[in-house]
C-alpha cells in the first residue's frame, strides 16, 4: 500500500481509514512477533494511526531483546521511505533503556540502604549475609546483574523471571528484617507501568518548527493538571511524553522543571 501510494502519488488521507480497518482485522497484539512489530511501525506512523503506533512501540520496548531497529519487509524497494532514527530508533532504545533504569532502581534501593546502614549498626551482625542471599536469589533466577542480562533479553523476560523470586524471612532485627518479595513485586509493577508506547501527537507537536517559536507555544506542551496526555489521542504518562519529545532538550527540561515546581507546591500545602 505504501509502495503504491508513493508510486502513484495517492493522497495519504484517503487511505487512513482503510489502514485502520486493516490493522483491526489483521493485527493481534497477543500473538505479535518482533519482525512484524518493527515492520508495522512505519505504516502506523505514516497513516497517523496513533493507537496502533502506541501499541506497537510499547510491545517492542517490553518484548524486544537487544537494540531495537526498524525492519523493512522483503520487496519494499523505496529506500527513502522509512522512519528516521530520531523518530524511531533513538526514542525506542531510549524507552527500553528507561525501563532498565526503573527496574534497577527498584531492585537496588532497599538493599542499597541495608549496605549503607549495616556497617554502622551495633545491633545487627547479619546485614552482609542478608544482602548476599538477596543477590544470590536474583542470580539464581537469572535476573541479575542487569548489565549482562538486559542486552540479551527482553524486559518482559526479565520481569517474568523476577516473579519467581523467593526469599523467606532471613533477618531478625529492624535493620535486616525486610520483606524482599514485596520490594521485588513493587519493582515489577513500576517497570510494567512506566512506558505506554510512543505518542504520535507528542512527537508531531514537539518537532522543531521553522522560524521562531515563542515560549508560550512550548509551555502549552507540558503537563495540564498533572496529566501528560491532555491533547493526545492515546492515554499515557510522563515517560511516554518524555521519550516522544522530538524538540530541543532545553524546552523539554523547562517543562519538567515547571511540573516539578507545581508538584512541590502541592506537597507543601498538604497537612502533615
Sign of CA dihedral 182, 183, 184, 189: positive
pTM of the model: 0.86
- Chain mean pLDDT for the chain: 86
Query: For the chain, first and last CA: distance in Å?
Result: 60
Instruction: Convert the pLDDT of each residue in 187-226 to its tens digit.
Output: 999 999 999 999 999 999 888 776 555 555 556 677 766 7
The predicted structure's pLDDT at residue 39: 92
Mean pLDDT of 63-85: 72
The predicted structure's pLDDT at residue 202: 94
Nearest-5° Cα angle at 271, 269 to 272: 125
Q: Which alpha helices (H) appear in the chain, and where do they start and end?
A: 2-8, 13-26, 34-46, 50-63, 89-117, 127-140, 146-149, 155-162, 180-192, 200-206, 215-219, 238-244, 249-269
Q: Is the pLDDT of residue 132 over 80?
A: yes
Map grid coordinates 483491526 to a residue. 24
Tell me how far the alpha carbon of residue 158 is from its chain's centroid. Answer: 15
The predicted structure's pLDDT at residue 34: 95
Amino acid at each position: 500500500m505504501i509502495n503504491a501510494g508513493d508510486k502513484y502519488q495517492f493522497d495519504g488521507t484517503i487511505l487512513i481509514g482503510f489502514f485502520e480497518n486493516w490493522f483491526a482485522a489483521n493485527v493481534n497484539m497477543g500473538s505479535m512477533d518482533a519482525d512484524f512489530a518493527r515492520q508495522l511501525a512505519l505504516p502506523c506512523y505514516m497513516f497517523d494511526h496513533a493507537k496502533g503506533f502506541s501499541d506497537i512501540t510499547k510491545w517492542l520496548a517490553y518484548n524486544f531483546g537487544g537494540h531495537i531497529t526498524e525492519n523493512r519487509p522483503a520487496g519494499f524497494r523505496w529506500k527513502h521511505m522509512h522512519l528516521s532514527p530520531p523518530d524511531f530508533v533513538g526514542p525506542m532504545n531510549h524507552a527500553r533503556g528507561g525501563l532498565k533504569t526503573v527496574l534497577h532502581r527498584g531492585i537496588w534501593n532497599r538493599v542499597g540502604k541495608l549496605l549503607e546502614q549495616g556497617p554502622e549498626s551495633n545491633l545487627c551482625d547479619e546485614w552482609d549475609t542478608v544482602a548476599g542471599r538477596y543477590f544470590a536469589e536474583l542470580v539464581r533466577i537469572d535476573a541479575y546483574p542487569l548489565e549482562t542480562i538486559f542486552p540479551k533479553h527482553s524486559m518482559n523476560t526479565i520481569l517474568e523471571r523476577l516473579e519467581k523470586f523467593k526469599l523467606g524471612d532471613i533477618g531478625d532485627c529492624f535493620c535486616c528484617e525486610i520483606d524482599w518479595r514485596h520490594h521485588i513485586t513493587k519493582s515489577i509493577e513500576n517497570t510494567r507501568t512506566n512506558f505506554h508506547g510512543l505518542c504520535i501527537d507528542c512527537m508531531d507537536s514537539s518537532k522543531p518548527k521553522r522560524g521562531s517559536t515563542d515560549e508560550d507555544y512550548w509551555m502549552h506542551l507540558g503537563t495540564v493538571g498533572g496529566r501528560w496526555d491532555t491533547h493526545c489521542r492515546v492515554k499515557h504518562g510522563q515517560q511516554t511524553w518524555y521519550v516522544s519529545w522530538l524538540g530541543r532538550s532545553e524546552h523539554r527540561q523547562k517543562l519538567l522543571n515547571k511540573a516539578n515546581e507545581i508538584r512541590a507546591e502541592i506537597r507543601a500545602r498538604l497537612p502533615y
